[in-house]
Amino acid sequence: MPGKNLQYANNNAQRLLDFLSKRRDSLSPLLILTHDYPDPDALAAAMALSHLAQQYFNIATRITYGGVIGRSENKAMVRILKIPIHKIRPEYFKKYRNIALVDTQPKFKNNSFPEKRKATIILDQHTSNFKPSAELSIIDTECGATCVIVAQALLLQGSPIPSRIATALVYGILSDTLDLYRAHREDVIKTYLDIISHCDLKMLAQIQNPTRSRRFFVTLHRALNRAIVYRHLLVSHLGFVENPDLVSQMAEFLLTYEKVQWSFCTGRYHGRLYVSLRTSLSNVHAGETLRSIFDNPKNAGGHAAIAGGSMKIAGEPTDKLWQETEQTLQHRLFRKLRRSVNAKFQKPFQGGQS
């Protein structure tokens, strides 16, 4: 029932507001931590939670992240919207007693959260095999984007939302729902429509159309040159990349090729192999598919259409070891999707076959 979904979502937002109100004195200062290499949803959720906590409950906050902010759009988002985000430091975990995790969970391998710490707040949309441990845990796997939870809490407050916050939320929702394609609940659409009225559309356009570095185009050329296709599945091993975000960016771009339903990309970065899987099919779960081909399923995850993960390559990896790991994952994916590992691939962007 649409009404029930809307009420359920508002209950989550109200739970967040009630917790911040009840604990306002003991929560300050609050460290807000995104997953490593934060995407627009994580950045928007963190920025909006910081505003909510400070503006309405007088809770001092600091937004932090691990990894790098590498993707052009994400860099533009931080710069244009002046998001006060800081690189995480080990001493922060000693300094801050209260930590909020957004768009990730303690047991996930995609964040810098200490293994033995307990989170104060968890806001996330991802499924997990582990029950998250926190004083407040809001996991809404159907909200489309984690920042929807915070957006609804802001809307319940009934006050005007600053344009920078609204613009971040709009972009976060659009990015994680594939321009609302994956927004299946009525309340998610309504939240987007309510938030966009506060948005700065000029800023949004600047974020969505940033200038790009030469390295981006070099990586794009490599992705196209190395792409192989068999039965609607495209694979491209990018080799060494400037930042892991390029792997997911290439997977998303290559999925737009008219003859594929799956795209699978890998990239080498600082001794880890980063992997992204995308699909245009609506009756599958990319996250479960990707987890099934990892030695350690906890190193991968995602949604129905989007999945990602990474694995450490032991020791000082040689080119042969990198290639063996890439091929192992490729073969496992082919078997999982019932493709022959000995198939004759097409190289669609080279004008030939192999």
> pLDDT tens across 96-142, in order?
999 999 999 998 889 999 988 999 999 999 888 778 889 999 999 99
Does residue 181 surpass a pLDDT of 90?
no
pLDDT band at 352 (very low <50, low <70, confident <90, very high): very low
Does residue 220 surpass a pLDDT of 80?
yes
Choose the final residue of a domain: 208, 239, 269.
208
The pLDDT value recorded for residue 1 is 36
Residue 354 inside a domain? The answer is no
Strands (E), 21-87: 30-34, 61-65, 85-87
The pLDDT value recorded for residue 6 is 62
- 260 shares a domain with 127: no
- 179 shares a domain with 260: no
Tell me the average pLDDT across 52-58. 98
Tell me the average pLDDT across 192-200. 96
User: Does 227 or 3 have the greater pLDDT score?
Assistant: 227
- 83 shares a domain with 193: yes
Does residue 23 surpass a pLDDT of 60?
yes
Q: 299's torsion region: left (phi>0), alpha (psi -120 to 50) or beta?
A: alpha
- 240 shares a domain with 174: no
- 283 shares a domain with 157: no
- 195 shares a domain with 70: yes
Cα-atom radius of gyration of the chain, to the nearest Å? Answer: 20
**CA dist., res. 13 & res. 164, Å (int):** 20
CATH number of the domain where residue 221 is located? 3.10.310.40
Does residue 3 surpass a pLDDT of 50?
no
Q: In the sheet that 346-347 helps form, which strands lie side by side, from edge to edge?
A: 300-302, 306-312, 272-279, 262-269, 233-240, 228-230, 346-347, 352-353
- 196 shares a domain with 283: no
Residue 353 inside a domain? The answer is no
**CA dist., res. 301 & res. 288, Å (int):** 7
The pLDDT value recorded for residue 131 is 84
- 196 shares a domain with 132: yes
pLDDT band at 14 (very low <50, low <70, confident <90, very high): very high
CATH number of the domain where residue 179 is located? 3.90.1640.10
- 195 shares a domain with 55: yes
Does residue 259 surpass a pLDDT of 60?
yes
Tell me the average pLDDT across 37-58. 97
The pLDDT value recorded for residue 33 is 98
Tell me the average pLDDT across 314-320. 89
Choose the final residue of a domain: 161, 191, 208.
208
Residue 187 inside a domain? The answer is yes
Phi, psi for 242 (deg, rounded to 5): -70, -35
Domain around 284: 215-348
Cβ–Cβ < 8 Å for 49, 102? yes
Domain count across the chain: 2
Residue 336 inside a domain? The answer is yes
- 204 shares a domain with 92: yes
The pLDDT value recorded for residue 84 is 98
Among 239-243, 285-289, 311-315, 349-353, the range scoring the smallest mean pLDDT is 349-353
Choose the final residue of a domain: 153, 184, 208.
208
- 198 shares a domain with 293: no
Tell me the average pLDDT across 183-199. 94
According to DSSP, the residues that pair with 277 across neighbouring strands are 264, 307
